[in-house]
Amino acid sequence: MPLIEGDQTFALSAFFVTLVAFGLWTETRKLGQHLGGPLVLLVLAMLASNLGVVPHSAPLYGDVMGLLVPLAIPLLLLRADLGVILRESGPILLLFGLATFATLVGVLVAVQLVDLGPETAALAGTITASYIGGSLNFVATAEAIGLRDSSLYVSALSADALGGVFFLLLLMLLPLSSLLRLALPSRFLDTATGDSLPADIAPPSDEPESAAPFALLPMVNGLALSFVICAISMAVAASLGQQALFILLVTLLTLVVANTARPLVRHIAQEFEIGRFFMYLFFAIIGASAELATVLGSALPLVMFVLLVVLVHLAIVLLAGWLLKLDLAEVMVASNACILGPPAAAAMAASRGWNTLIAPGVMVGMLGYAIGTFLGIGVAKLLG
C-alpha cells in the first residue's frame, strides 16, 4: 500500500504540485537546464510510485489527463500565428509519416526477435496501434481483435506504459548528445556557439508582451476562454458522435480565435505559464503510472518487445532526419506525436519553448489517432 493512497486527493495533489515546483526549480540550475524539467519529473515520479510513495493509478490522474491537458492546449496556442504554423507543418507531416513507418518496422523486427507465444499477432497489432495513435487506439484494437478479454491485456497495457516512459526519457536526452546535435542541427535549440533562436520561435518571456505587472483579471480571462473553447469542442464532438475528435477540435478552434480575435487575446496574460504548469503535471503523472513490478515480472517479454519497437523507431527517424537534413527539434516532436500522441508532443514543445511546433505536433498526433487502429488491425491480420 503506498504512503499516499489514491483517494487522498489533497495529499496526492500536494505531492505532485510540489514535485512540479522542484522540476521548475531545477531548470534554474545548470544540470536541470541540460536535462529539462519534464525529464526530471518523469524520473522522480516514476521512482516515487515504484518506491511506494504514491500509487500507480488514482482518480486524480484521470482528472489531469481529462481536464488539465485539454485546457492546456488553448493556453499554449492563444498567441499562435497560423502563417508561421503552416510554414512549420510541412517537415512535421513528412516526419510523422517516417515515424509511422519506423513504428511498423520496429514491430516487425520485434516480432522476429521476441517470442510472445500464440497471441503474438494480437499483441503486435495492439502495440502498433498504440505507438502510432494512442491509448484510445490500444483499447479499440484490443477489442477488435479479441485481446481485451485475454489475461495478457493488463500485461500489455503495463508494458505499453513503460515503453512510453522509456521512449520519452530517451527523447528528452537526445539534445544532450553533441554528435547528434552535429548530425541534426536545430534552429530551435541553442547552439554551442550561443546563437539565439529566431524571433518567431523564441520562447515567451516570463512577462506578458506589454511587460505589465501580474494582474488577476487577464489570467482568469485566459482560463475562461480555454474552458469555453474546450466546452464548445466537446459539445461538437459529442454531437458528431466522435469523441476522439475532441483534442483536434480544441486545437482548430483555438487557432481560429488566436488568428481572428487578436483584440480579445490582448486582454489575456500569463496563459502560457499556466498551460506549461498543466503540462508539467502531465509529465509527472506519466512517470508515476509506470509500474515496474508488473512489467518486470509476467510482462517481461512484452517489455522487451516494446523496448525494441521504441529503439528501432528512434534509430530510423534519426537516420532519416540526418539523411534528409531535417531539424532535430522537429524530429523529436513528430516522433513524440507518433509514439505518445498529441498531448505529449504539445507538452514537450511547450516545455522547450518551441511555440510554432505545438500546433503541428497536435495535428499530426491526431492523424495518428485516425489511422492507428486501422494499422494495428492490419498488422494483426498480416501476422495472424
* Angstrom distance (rounded) from CA 274 to CA 344: 16
Would residue 210 count as lying in a domain? Answer: no
Would residue 101 count as lying in a domain? Answer: yes
Would residue 239 count as lying in a domain? Answer: yes
Please choose, from the candidates 19, 46, 39, 63, the residue with its C-alpha nearest in 3D space to the C-alpha of residue 336: 39
DSSP-derived secondary structure letter, 132: T
DSSP-derived secondary structure letter, 117: G
Would residue 272 count as lying in a domain? Answer: yes
Phi/psi at 249 (5° precision): -65, -40
Name which residue leads in pLDDT, 195 or 312: 312
Please choose, from the candidates 37, 26, 18, 20, the residue with its C-alpha nearest in 3D space to the C-alpha of residue 353: 37
Give me the chain's average pLDDT, please.
83
Would residue 237 count as lying in a domain? Answer: yes
Lowest mean pLDDT among 209-213, 245-249, 259-263, 300-304: 209-213
Question: How would you class 20 by CB atoms within 10 Å of its CB: exposed for 0-12, middle for 13-18, buried for 19 or more?
Answer: buried
Would residue 26 count as lying in a domain? Answer: yes
At position 252, the amino acid (one-letter code) is: L
**Is 188 strand, coil or helix?**
coil
Residue 233's domain comprises 9-173+215-383
pLDDT tens by residue, 34-72:
666 777 887 899 899 989 999 988 999 988 888 888 898
Sequence-distant (≥ 6) Cβ neighbours of residue 72 within 8 angstroms: 226, 274, 275, 276, 278, 279, 282, 346, 347, 350
CATH number at residue 84: 1.20.1530
Q: How many domains does the chain have?
A: 1
pLDDT tens by residue, 142-193:
878 877 656 677 678 778 878 888 898 899 889 888 899 999 998 888 543 3
pLDDT at 370 over 70: yes
Contact 78, 268 (CB under 8 A): yes
Would residue 358 count as lying in a domain? Answer: yes
Would residue 224 count as lying in a domain? Answer: yes
pLDDT at 124 over 90: yes
pLDDT on residue 28: 82
Could you please report the per-residue DSSP string of 327-360? -HHHHHHHHHHHHT-HHHHHHHHHHHT-GGGHHH
pLDDT on residue 38: 75
